[in-house]
A and B are shown apart, each in its own frame.
Chain A
Amino acid sequence: MDQKVIAGAPPTTSSGDLAVEIVGMHKWFGEFHVLRDINLTVRRGERIVVCGPSGSGKSTMIRCINRLEEHQKGRIIVDGIELTSDLKRIDEIRREVGMVFQHFNLFPHLTVLENCTLAPIWVRKMPREEAEKTAMHFLTRVKIPEQAHKYPGQLSGGQQQRVAIARALCMHPKIMLFDEPTSALDPEMVKEVLDTMVQLAEDGMTMLVVTHEMGFARQVAHRVVFMDAGQIVEVNRPDEFFAHPKHERTKLFLSQILH
Chain B
Amino acid sequence: MAGASIKEMDPEHGVAYVREAPIEALPPPASERGALGWLRANFFATPLDAALSVVLLLLLAWIVPPLLDFLLFNAVWTGKDREACLVGPDRPEVGACWAFVRDRFAYFIYGSYPVAERWRVDIFFAMLAIGIVWLLKLNAPRRDLGAFYFFVIVPIVSYILLNGSEMLGLRRVDTAVWGGMLVTIVVAWVGIVVSLPAGILLALGRRSRMPAVKLFSVIFIEFVRGVPLITVLFMASVMLPLFVPEQWSPDKLLRALVGIALFASAYMAEVVRAGLQAIPKGQYEGAMAVGLSYSQMMRLIILPQALRVTIPNIVNSYIALFKDTTLVFIVGIFDFLKAIEAARIDPIWSTPVTSTTGYAFAAIVYFILCYLMSAYAKNMEARLAVADKR
Contact = CB atoms under 8 A, between A and B. Distances in A.
Interface stretch (B115-123, B141-149, B193-201, B289-297): B289-297
Contacts of A122: 292, 296, 300
Contacts of A106: 286
Given A105-B282, A122-B296, A154-B390, A94 B304 contact: no
Interface in A29-85: 66, 68
Given A151-B390, A154-B390, A107 B285 contact: no
Nearest to A120: B290
Grouping DSSP codes into helix (H, G, I), strand (E, B) and loop, the B interface class, with mixed when no group exceeds half, is helix
Contacts of A99: 289
Contacts of A17: none
Contacts of A104: 282
B364 interface: no
B293 A91 contact: yes
B285 A168 contact: no
A108 interface: yes
A105 B283 contact: yes
Interface string A88-127: 0001001101110101111111000000001100110000
Interface in B298-312: 300-301, 304-305, 308
Contacts, number: 61
B72 interface: no
B288 interface: yes
A232 interface: no
Interface in B256-308: 282-283, 285-293, 296, 300-301, 304-305, 308
Interface core residue of B285, B290, B292 (most chain A CB under 10 Å): B290
Q: Most chain-A Cβ atoms within 10 A of its Cβ — which of B291, B300, B388, B389?
A: B291
B301 A107 contact: yes
A109 B285 contact: no
B36 to A, nearest CB: 41
B290 A119 contact: yes
A66 B289 contact: yes
Given A101-B282, A107-B286, A123 B304 contact: no
A109 B286 contact: no
A99 to B, nearest CB: 4
Nearest to A68: B285
A118 B286 CA distance: 12
B290 to A, nearest CB: 4
A147 to B, nearest CB: 13
Contacts of B283: 105, 107
B291 A94 contact: yes
Given A91-B291, A119-B292, A105 B390 contact: no
Contact of B292 (A108, A123, A151, A168): A123
Contact of B289 (A68, A108, A118): A68
A123 B290 contact: yes
B383 to A, nearest CB: 14
Nearest to A90: B288
A109 B304 contact: yes
B286 A94 contact: no
B301 A101 contact: no
Given A68-B285, A105-B285, A118 B308 contact: no
Contacts of B292: 118-119, 122-123
B285 A118 contact: no
A171 interface: yes
A39 B32 CA distance: 72
Interface string B358-390: 000000000000000000000000000000111
Nearest to A105: B286
Residue among A95, A119, A153, A154 with the most chain B CB within 10 A? Answer: A119
Contact of A109 (B289, B290, B308, B389): B308
A102 B390 CA distance: 21
Nearest to B389: A153
A167 B301 CA distance: 15
Interface string B196-224: 00000000000000000000000000000
Interface string B212-250: 000000000000000000000000000000000000000
Contacts of B389: 153
B305 A109 contact: yes
A185 to B, nearest CB: 15
Given A98-B290, A105-B286, A108-B305, 14 more contacts: A68-B285, A101-B285, A101-B289, A103-B282, A107-B305, A109-B304, A118-B292, A119-B292, A122-B296, A123-B291, A123-B293, A153-B390, A167-B290, A171-B291
Interface of B: 282-283, 285-293, 296, 300-301, 304-305, 308, 388-390
Please list the 8 inter-chain residue pairs (A to B) with the smallest Cβ-Cβ separation, ordered nearest first.
Answer: A105-B286, A119-B290, A105-B282, A99-B289, A94-B291, A123-B291, A95-B291, A153-B390
6 contacts: A66-B289, A94-B288, A94-B290, A99-B289, A118-B290, A122-B292
